[in-house]
């Protein structure tokens, strides 16, 4: 009789334990480029860590299903495929992936690797994510740590695209002198660079499609090499072109950040309660060849 | 006049003409080759220069594309100066896509622009460059090259700023033109080098070619020169004519002679045909005559063969006569034993009959004197008939009779062997027995003073026709005995060597003359008196031995004797057919 009572009590206790289950997550991506895989891997690892599958479904891990919109570019087909499987969450990677699923309102969506997502999201309340913007303060804090002598920052910007960054930079680092020249088009970049000759210690490359046009990019690096002025860029891709150092996203950190947001949503928080966030961690990379050629002095204790 | 003699000689010499022609051809070819080589090298060098110029202007267009895009003069300086630092580049000009000059620089600032000398021409140039992509031409002093300046102005997505994205290649936009003027100074210098080098090479080639030509012509025309020399000698050598005329005349003469020869041959041929017909007819006549003669000869041959058969028959008969004589003599001797004994036997038998009759008469008489008288008469009779030796005499007489009978039996036996030739077949036979059985048939009348010595060796039986072989041996022995003329020694010896049995008959007769010894086996050849020999005996013997795959050797010395050696294989390779 005592044994039967103990079993009943144990079962009642087990019934009271949280019954977190394995979740179906659809990853919508645009191609198989390396950073995407890195982000998805970090997201998955973190999510499993945050939401370990347990309870009656503990034998099943979270299910990740990938949809590549480059292979299936028809938006309605992608939507139908996702709605048919009724996943618990949609993770989008890149602007096109977000555009492909933004009209699905029944399922929470977390975006990653999207520049200016607000234009796409508009007023939808089931979408949140990590903004692809490097906080200016973090960027210049890293710069100062590596190149403490740099004071005069030359930057060419377009008023319509990147005036905000100039303003943020001046506010965040009042100790630095920003020589900012407006360029209406890429044609004006070489002339603007000529104006910067002898006036700056570093060229700050902005993520501005007007003034950082890939075809005019050569001008920046030519200027850099001719005047021994390093270029601070925002993506690893510019290292091989000639940037001296890069302060950029930490892909794994972005994935983990998105996983935290996803966990909150999957555990019941409304999407509106999990607002879009800026990245919290950056990665700094120095091009040693360029640094050596430009005779940059980087303190040993400041090496990334 | 003599001063021009060498030139006349050259004009007359065929070899000199060939040499001069060859030299002229070589020179012309060398010049043409030189010109062609120079032209080819010039063209290749020009193409190389054009390629080089195009590469430079393309490099310039690539270097200034950002400067053209931004139309920033400062950005032109470095790439243009870099191109102008090249030795032969004298001017570089950059235009925007509308044809407006953006930048121009010349190596010598004061010199006139070779590109801008004809502004109206620029519009055509730009149009052509748009269509073909490049352009170049030459002036007397320079090469001018053009290349379009393209720029990819397509903007990527915002994401492409951050990541390596696959972007569709955008169409390039024509934003300007680059022009380059390259002096021809180095080019002209290079061409001059080519001319000089090629000229030197061709002169060397020409010199070597002429030397080789001279040697080759001299070597190859040597037979011709020899012919010409001989022709000149044959024509007297006094005539001074050029080689070709000489050859032409000689050839013409030879041709005429040849034609005459052909005419002669034709005539001869016509005559020959007539002669052939006549000769054919003659031959036909001769053939008929020959056939007639042949027919006669055949008839004669038939008669001869018939005569030969008769002679053979005669020889057989003669041989048989000799044999019969011998046999008769032997039988007579044997019978003499019997016939000589028979009278004595009859006489002794009478004596015995008389003695027995006396004893019968005595049996019936009483004892008394008469009886005693008869007994004394019987004793007297015994003494008369030599009763004591009568039985010994009987035995002697019976022995004689037996000897005569034995001899007769042996003769008959040998005769049977000798006469069974016709049905004879090849079989193994003892040569010694054949010799022994042949000896008795030698004519005994000539054997009185002849001694036969037998030196028989150890030999195997020979497969043969024993009767035929016996005939051969008898013939040889008979000849030997005749040659010894009743006195001498006939030595018969045998031995075996290498599967062959040798039978040697050596007599001590008169021998055979050296000139005749080669003819002794010829049919009808004989040295005997007419009627004593047919001349076929040794011929038949030769055939018989050949029939046994054997041979007969003869050695003879006049006055010393003759040796016949019959050699027979123990086993003839193929048994010959039975002989008739």
Q: Kindly list the residues from chain A whose CB atom is less than 8 angstroms away from the CB atom of residue B153.
A: 186, 213, 215
Percent of chain B residues topping a pLDDT of 70: 84
Q: Does the domain spanning B420-569 belong to CATH 3.30.565.10?
A: yes
Chain A segment 212-241 residues within 8 A of B by beta carbon are 212-216, 218-219, 222, 234-235, 237
Same domain, A127 and A208: no
Question: Does residue B377 surpass a pLDDT of 50?
Answer: yes
**Is A219 close to B70, i.e. CB distance below 8 A?**
yes
Which pLDDT belongs to residue B319?
Answer: 64
**Is A161 within 8 Å of chain B by CB?**
no
Chain B segment 54-93 residues within 8 A of A by beta carbon are 66-67, 69-72, 74-75
Q: Provide mean pLDDT across the span B209-214.
A: 82
Confidence of residue B393 (pLDDT cuts 50, 70, 90): confident
**Which residue out of B64, B70, B81, B176 would a mutagenesis test of the A interface target, given it has the greatest number of A Cβ atoms within 10 Å?**
B70
Same domain, A58 and A200: no
Q: Provide mean pLDDT across the span B15-30.
A: 81
Q: Chain A residue with minimal CA distance to B72?
A: A191
Instruction: Return the top range by mean pLDDT from A19-23, B153-157, B268-272.
Output: B268-272
Q: Kindly list the residues from chain A whose CB atom is less than 8 angstroms away from the CB atom of residue B165.
A: 31, 33
**Is B164 within 8 Å of chain A by CB?**
yes
Q: Does the domain spanning B4-152+171-215 belong to CATH 3.90.1150.10?
A: no
Question: Does residue B379 surpass a pLDDT of 90?
Answer: no
- Residue given tokens 């020409």 in the structure block: B206
Q: Which residues pair with A233 in a beta bridge?
A: A246
Q: Provide mean pLDDT across the span B209-216.
A: 82
What are the angstrom distances between the C-alpha of B544 and each of B69, B138, B334, B539?
133, 119, 33, 9
**Is B156 close to A209, i.e. CB distance below 8 A?**
yes
Secondary structure string (H, E, C) spanning chain A: CHHHHHHHHHHHHHHCCCCCCCCEEEEEECCCCHHHHHHHHHHHHHHHHHCCCCHHHCCCCCEEEEEECCCCCCHHHHHHHHHHHCCCEEEEECHHHHHHHCCCCCCCEEEEEECCCHHHHCCCCCEEEEECCCCHHHHHHHHHHHCCCCCEEEEEECHHHHHHHHHHHHHHCCCCEEEEEECCCHHHHHHHHHHHCCCCCEEECCCCCCCCCCCCHHHHHHHHHHHCCCEEECCHHHCCCCCCEEEEECHHHHHHHHHHHHHHHHCCCCHHHCCCECCCCEEEEECHHHHHHCCCCCCHHHCC
More confident residue, B28 or A10: B28
Same domain, A18 and A94: yes
Q: Please give, rounded to a whole number of angstroms, the shortest distance from the CA of A23 to a CA of chain B.
A: 30
Residues 6+ apart with CB under 8 A from B210: B23, B26, B27
Question: Does residue B7 surpass a pLDDT of 70?
Answer: no
Same domain, A186 and A227: yes
Condensed to tens digits (0 to 9), the pLDDT of residues B255-278 reads: 888 999 999 888 888 888 888 889
What are the structure tokens assigned to B424, written together? 């004879």
Which pLDDT belongs to residue A8?
Answer: 46
Same domain, A155 and A272: no
Confidence of residue B524 (pLDDT cuts 50, 70, 90): low
Question: Does residue A127 surpass a pLDDT of 90?
Answer: yes
Same domain, A91 and A201: no
**Is A186 within 8 Å of chain B by CB?**
yes
**Is B163 close to A213, i.e. CB distance below 8 A?**
no
Strands B462-464 and B142-151: unpaired
Condensed to tens digits (0 to 9), the pLDDT of residues B88-138 reads: 888 899 988 888 888 888 887 666 666 666 666 777 888 887 777 668 888
Which pLDDT belongs to residue A15?
Answer: 41
**Is A218 close to B67, i.e. CB distance below 8 A?**
no
- Residue given tokens 């020009």 in the structure block: B46
Q: Kindly list the residues from chain A whose CB atom is less than 8 angstroms away from the CB atom of residue B75.
A: 190, 219
Q: Please give, rounded to a whole number of angstroms, the shortest distance from the CA of B173 to a CA of chain A.
A: 12
Which pLDDT belongs to residue A4?
Answer: 52
Parse chain B into domains and list their residue ranges. Answer: 4-152+171-215, 244-405, 420-569
Same domain, A114 and A150: no
**Which residue out of A161, A162, A214, A243 would a mutagenesis test of the B interface target, given it has the greatest number of B Cβ atoms within 10 Å?**
A214
More confident residue, B370 or A96: A96
Lowest-pLDDT range of B8-12, B86-90, B125-129, B229-233 = B8-12
Q: Provide mean pLDDT across the span A12-39.
A: 69
d(CA A38, CA A113): 12
Q: Kindly list the residues from chain B whose CB atom is less than 8 angstroms away from the CB atom of residue A188.
A: 70
Question: Does residue B531 surpass a pLDDT of 60?
Answer: no
Domain extent at residue A8:
2-131+251-280
Confidence of residue A3 (pLDDT cuts 50, 70, 90): low
Number of domains, chain A: 2
Instruction: Return the top range by mean pLDDT from A25-34, A280-289, B441-450.
Output: A280-289
Q: Kindly list the residues from chain B whose CB atom is less than 8 angstroms away from the CB atom of residue A212.
A: 161
Q: Provide mean pLDDT across the span A118-122.
A: 87
Q: Please give, rounded to a whole number of angstroms, the shortest distance from the CA of B46 to a CA of chain A.
A: 36
**Is A194 within 8 Å of chain B by CB?**
yes
Which pLDDT belongs to residue A26?
Answer: 92
**Is A216 close to B71, i.e. CB distance below 8 A?**
no
The 10 Å CB-count burial string (b at 16+, else e) for B556-572 is: beeeebbbbbbbbbbeb
- Contact at 8 Å (CB) between A246 and A282? no
Same domain, A151 and A242: yes
**Is A237 close to B158, i.e. CB distance below 8 A?**
no
Q: Provide mean pLDDT across the span A65-69.
A: 87
Q: Chain A residue with minimal CA distance to B67?
A: A190
Same domain, A105 and A14: yes
Q: Kindly list the residues from chain A whose CB atom is less than 8 angstroms away from the CB atom of residue B157.
A: 95, 209
Same domain, A221 and A263: no
**Is A276 within 8 Å of chain B by CB?**
no
Same domain, A241 and A259: no
Which pLDDT belongs to residue B290?
Answer: 93
Same domain, A153 and A275: no
């Amino acid at each position: 009789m005592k044994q039967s009572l103990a079993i009943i009590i144990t079962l009642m206790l087990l019934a009271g334990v949280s019954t977190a289950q394995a979740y179906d997550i659809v990853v919508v991506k645009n191609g198989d480029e390396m950073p995407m895989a890195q982000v998805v891997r970090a997201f998955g690892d973190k999510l499993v860590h945050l939401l370990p599958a347990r309870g009656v479904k503990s034998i099943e891990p979270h299910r990740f299903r990938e949809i590549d919109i480059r292979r299936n570019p028809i938006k309605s087909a992608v939507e139908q495929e996702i709605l048919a499987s009724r996943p618990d969450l949609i993770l989008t990677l890149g602007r096109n992936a977000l555009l492909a699923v933004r009209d699905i309102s029944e399922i929470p969506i977390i975006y990653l690797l999207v520049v200016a997502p607000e234009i796409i999201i508009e007023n939808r309340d089931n979408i949140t994510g990590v903004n692809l913007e490097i906080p200016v303060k973090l960027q210049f804090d890293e710069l100062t740590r590596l190149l403490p002598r740099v004071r005069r920052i030359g930057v060419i910007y377009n008023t319509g695209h990147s005036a905000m960054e100039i303003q943020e930079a001046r506010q965040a680092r009042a100790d630095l002198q920003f020589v900012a020249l407006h360029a209406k088009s890429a044609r004006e970049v070489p002339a603007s660079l000529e104006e910067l000759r002898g006036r700056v210690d570093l060229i700050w490359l902005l993520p501005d499609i007007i003034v950082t046009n890939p075809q005019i990019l050569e001008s920046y690096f030519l200027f850099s090499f001719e005047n021994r002025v390093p270029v601070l860029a925002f993506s690893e891709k510019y290292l091989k072109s000639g940037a001296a150092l890069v302060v950029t996203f930490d892909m794994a950190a972005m994935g983990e950040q998105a996983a935290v947001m996803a966990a909150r949503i999957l555990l019941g928080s409304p999407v509106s309660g999990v607002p879009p966030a800026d990245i919290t961690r950056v990665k700094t990379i120095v091009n040693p060849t360029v640094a050596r050629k430009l005779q940059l002095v980087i303190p040993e204790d400041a090496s990334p | 006049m003599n001063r021009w003699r060498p030139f006349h000689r050259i004009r007359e010499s065929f070899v000199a003409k060939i040499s001069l022609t060859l030299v002229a051809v070589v020179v012309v070819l060398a010049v043409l080759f030189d010109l062609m080589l120079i032209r080819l090298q010039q063209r290749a060098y020009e193409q190389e220069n054009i390629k080089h110029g195009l590469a430079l202007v393309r490099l310039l267009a690539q270097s200034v594309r950002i400067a053209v895009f931004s139309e920033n003069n400062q950005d032109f300086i470095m790439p243009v100066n870099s191109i102008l630092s090249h030795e032969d580049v004298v001017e570089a000009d950059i235009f925007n896509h509308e044809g407006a000059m953006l930048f121009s620089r010349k190596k010598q600032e004061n010199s006139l622009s070779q590109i801008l000398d004809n502004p109206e021409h620029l519009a055509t140039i730009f149009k052509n460059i748009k269509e073909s992509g490049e352009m170049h031409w030459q002036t007397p002093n320079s090469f001018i090259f053009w290349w379009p300046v393209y720029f990819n102005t397509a903007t990527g997505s915002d994401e492409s700023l951050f990541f390596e994205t696959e972007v569709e290649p955008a169409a390039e936009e024509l934003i300007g033109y680059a022009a380059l003027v390259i002096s021809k100074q180095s080019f002209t210098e290079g061409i001059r080098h080519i001319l000089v080098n090629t000229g030197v090479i061709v002169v060397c080639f020409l010199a070597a070619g002429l030397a080789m030509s001279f040697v080759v012509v001299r070597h190859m025309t040597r037979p011709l020169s020899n012919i010409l020399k001989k022709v000149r000698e044959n024509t007297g050598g006094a005539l001074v004519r050029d080689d070709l005329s000489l050859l032409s005349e000689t050839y013409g003469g030879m041709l005429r002679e040849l034609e005459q020869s052909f005419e002669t041959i034709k005539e001869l041929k016509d005559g020959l045909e007539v002669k052939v017909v006549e000769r054919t007819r003659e031959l036909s006549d001769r053939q008929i005559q020959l056939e007639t003669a042949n027919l006669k000869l055949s008839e004669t041959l038939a008669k001869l063969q018939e005569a030969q058969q008769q002679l053979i028959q005669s020889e057989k008969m003669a041989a048989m006569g000799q044999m019969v004589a011998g046999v008769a003599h032997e039988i007579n001797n044997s019978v003499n034993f019997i016939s000589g004994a028979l009278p004595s036997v009859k006489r002794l038998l009478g004596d015995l009959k008389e003695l027995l009759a006396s004893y019968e008469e005595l049996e019936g008489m009483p004892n008394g004197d008469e009886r005693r008288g008869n007994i004394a008469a019987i004793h007297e009779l015994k003494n008369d008939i030599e009763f004591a030796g009568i039985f010994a005499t009987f035995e002697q007489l019976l022995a004689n009779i037996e000897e005569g009978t034995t001899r007769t039996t042996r003769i008959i036996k040998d005769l049977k062997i000798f006469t069974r030739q016709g049905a004879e077949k090849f079989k193994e036979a003892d040569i010694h027995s054949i010799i022994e059985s042949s000896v008795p048939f030698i004519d005994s009348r000539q054997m009185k003073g002849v001694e036969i010595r037998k030196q028989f060796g150890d030999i195997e039986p020979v497969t043969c026709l024993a009767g035929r072989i016996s005939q051969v041996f008898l013939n040889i022995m008979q000849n030997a005995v005749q040659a010894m003329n009743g006195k001498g020694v006939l030595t018969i010896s045998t031995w075996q060597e290498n599967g062959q049995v040798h039978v040697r008959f050596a007599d001590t007769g008169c021998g055979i003359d050296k000139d005749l010894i080669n003819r002794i086996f010829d049919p009808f050849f004989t040295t005997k008196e007419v009627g004593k020999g047919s001349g076929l005996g040794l011929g038949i013997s030769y055939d018989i031995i050949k029939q046994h795959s054997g041979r007969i050797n003869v050695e003879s010395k006049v006055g010393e004797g003759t040796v016949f050696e019959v050699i027979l294989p123990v086993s003839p390779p193929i048994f010959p057919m039975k002989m008739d």
